Amino acid sequence: MTKQVQQLDRVIIRFAGDSGDGMQLTGDRFTAETAQFGNDLSTLPNFPAEIRAPAGTLPGVSSFQLHFADHDILTPGDAPNVLVAMNPAALKANLGDLPRGADIIANTDEFTKRNLQKVGYAGNPLEDESLSEWRVHAVPLTSLTVGALEGFEISKKDAERAKNMFALGLLSWLYNRPTEATVKFLKAKFAKKPTIAEANVAAFQAGWNYGETTESFSVSYEIKPARLAPGVYRNISGNQALAYGLIAASVQSGLPLFLGSYPITPASDILHELSKHKRFGVRTFQAEDEIAGVGAALGASFGGSLGVTTTSGPGVALKAETVGLGVTTELPLIIVDVQRAGPSTGMPTKTEQTDLLMALYGRNGESPVPVVAPATPSDCFHAAIEAARIALKYRTPVMLLSDGYLANGSEPWRVPEMDDLPDISVDFTTEPNGDDGTYLPFKRDPETLARPWAVPGTAGLEHRIGGIEKADGTGNISYDPDNHDKMVRLRQAKIDGIDVPDLEVDDPDGDARILVLGWGSTYGPIAAAVRRVRKGGAKVAQTHLRHLNPLPANTGDVLRSYDKVLLPEINLGQLALLLRARYLIDVIGYNRVRGLPFKAEELAAVIQDVIDSE
């Protein structure tokens, strides 16, 4: 039968089930189909820290949310329009986020008495009136999948595992997604197990056919491609973008890239990605611990490479002494901190912005380092190049603050032309620079205050380097009080003098009285909230910090230009503390530390409250 096709401008889908149900794979594949179709999109994976959390329990629920549209969007969406619930735990864990009237596609096969009791359901919500405010589609996903695979020589357990592909096929039909790439992906993924590959393809196609023939779904939906600037696009996650940015920085600087790293959630994917690109001269070293990883990276910098180490908050704490060594030896080094919920192990798969003060001050002595924070998953690419530019030009370690939301989230990325990337090439010192024909390893560039960089083994440029304080110019060990004061001030002045662009303010009419300021991954929710408030007729300005040390030169002037400054942070007010101290401005902090990004609706209400208080 011919079914109606309804046009939508956007939709938010959330796949949810056990951590072993393949929800992340399902979400990734639906995202890939959507990117291929040409929609703008944003994703929010959310999963337990355990590899396999207890099946059927609330702590074991894994979900993947995708927001896609025919226009520019900024966030994964506040609330799903469609929830695919693979079991009662998935329903219960996510129902609170579901607006009234939304669709629930529930796998009825898993709503057994035992599974219902595991999460505290006294009865079956699919059979009573408790879900009457939602549109419930009860679909026996597991048994339909098993039935579709009866002709395959696989176990019942393997057949049941393919239920996520059945669900993917059904949703692909429901939203008119292309399917060829998913079929190709499944055949490649299970190439060594052709029967499993064909079974998964069959389950995927069965899900599509079910949507086409069942009376449970009388309407399918179409979301037209978004109008994007001309260019070549691909879907990319923050960790992928960051890895590609580091490779591009290596190419643009002419230096080999060396990554010394210890695996840690949610930064490990950068190590995994870079290890695939040896053809670009990338060397990856999986160290025995965090300290060894950063030590190797700093050693690589000493030897003339672009040294990088990647980690999360607990790892930054362990790397602190070696970062301080990089400060005093004045060598380029990039420390990528993909922030996660803490303290200590905290919630490893959840996001936060709680490492800012540690990035700025978490070392002994006066140990200043520049800090750069990307705003979106694709911006991680450009932030990595910017971190490399600063590290190489000013001979300093640089902290790059990503977070779990950016690292795992994805969006369309316009692949840049190499000619459009900055030239960050480096000239090593090859000749003596002293008046008497000697080499002075700490003779500074008058403009940048950076010291020369000589590759070890260069004839005539032998020099000592280490963690003990050095005399200005010669680099000889010095305990002289006046020299120490001078060197401390020189290192600080070098960081203070780094060239960073001025803050740009989005204030369409130029007469807003409220400014919303953000940094890092809050960009999308803040920008989406500002759009909502402006649509309601209110006037509000927005600006976003990428460089957190040094701050842009016009920061104080921008903040003083508005009656009130609102600063949302996923911490207890770390940047607000710094801005109040430096500029004596009573910044209004809005702080939530839930392991989740802000919602646009939430921030729009906060902004409106601040406007109304005027």
CA separation for the pair 566, 559 (Å, rounded): 10
pTM: 0.96
CA separation for the pair 127, 105 (Å, rounded): 14
Residues 6+ apart with CB under 8 A from 387: 249, 334, 370, 372, 398, 400
pLDDT at 579 over 80: yes
Residues 6+ apart with CB under 8 A from 537: none
Give the pLDDT mean for 15-22.
94
Residues 6+ apart with CB under 8 A from 415: 231, 232, 233, 234
Buried b (16+ CB within 10 A) or exposed e, 535-555: eeebebbbbbbbbbbbbbeeb
Reported as a pLDDT band with limits 50, 70 and 90, residue 52 is confident
DSSP conformation class of 366: S
Beta bridge partners of 548: none
7-222 architecture in CATH?
Answer: 3-Layer(aba) Sandwich (3.40)
Domain with CATH 3.40.50.970 in the chain: 234-420
Rounded to the nearest angstrom, the gap between the alpha carbon of residue 404 and the centroid of all alpha carbons in its chain is 5
CA separation for the pair 590, 305 (Å, rounded): 41
Domain with CATH 3.40.920.10 in the chain: 7-222
Q: What's the pLDDT score for residue 50?
A: 84
CB-count burial class (<10 Å; 0-12, 13-18, 19+) for 481 = exposed
CA separation for the pair 528, 544 (Å, rounded): 13
CA separation for the pair 412, 349 (Å, rounded): 23
412 and 42 Cβ atoms separated by less than 8 Å: no
pLDDT at 327 over 80: yes
598 and 570 Cβ atoms separated by less than 8 Å: yes
Give the pLDDT mean for 47-63.
90
Q: What's the pLDDT score for residue 2?
A: 74
In DSSP notation, 94-109 reads: HGGGPPTT-EEEEEGG
What is the tens place of the pLDDT at every residue in 71-113? Answer: 999 999 999 999 999 999 999 999 999 999 999 999 999 999 9
Domain with CATH 3.40.50.920 in the chain: 514-613
Rounded to the nearest angstrom, the gap between the alpha carbon of residue 88 and the centroid of all alpha carbons in its chain is 30
Which one, of 18, 196, 23, 19, lies nearest residue 110 by Cα? 18
CA separation for the pair 183, 202 (Å, rounded): 9
63 and 95 Cβ atoms separated by less than 8 Å: no
DSSP conformation class of 92: H
Residue with tokens 């009825």: 108
3-state secondary structure of 605: helix
Q: What's the pLDDT score for residue 76?
A: 98
What is the tens place of the pLDDT at every residue in 165-194? Answer: 999 999 999 999 999 999 999 999 999 999
Which one, of 73, 65, 13, 66, lies nearest residue 40 by Cα? 73
Q: What's the pLDDT score for residue 1?
A: 60
514-613 — its CATH code?
Answer: 3.40.50.920
SS (H, E, C) 149-197: CCCCCCCHHHHHHCHHHHHHHHHHHHCCCCCHHHHHHHHHHCCCCHHHH
Residues 6+ apart with CB under 8 A from 342: 313, 314, 352, 354, 355
Q: What's the pLDDT score for residue 54?
A: 85
3-state secondary structure of 233: strand
CA separation for the pair 517, 544 (Å, rounded): 6
pLDDT at 382 over 70: yes
What is the tens place of the pLDDT at every residue in 408-441? Answer: 999 999 999 999 999 999 999 999 999 999 999 9
What is the tens place of the pLDDT at every residue in 490-510? Answer: 999 999 999 999 999 999 999
Distances (CA, A) of 164 to 95, 195, 295: 20, 17, 43
CATH 3.40.50.970 fits 234-420, yes or no: yes
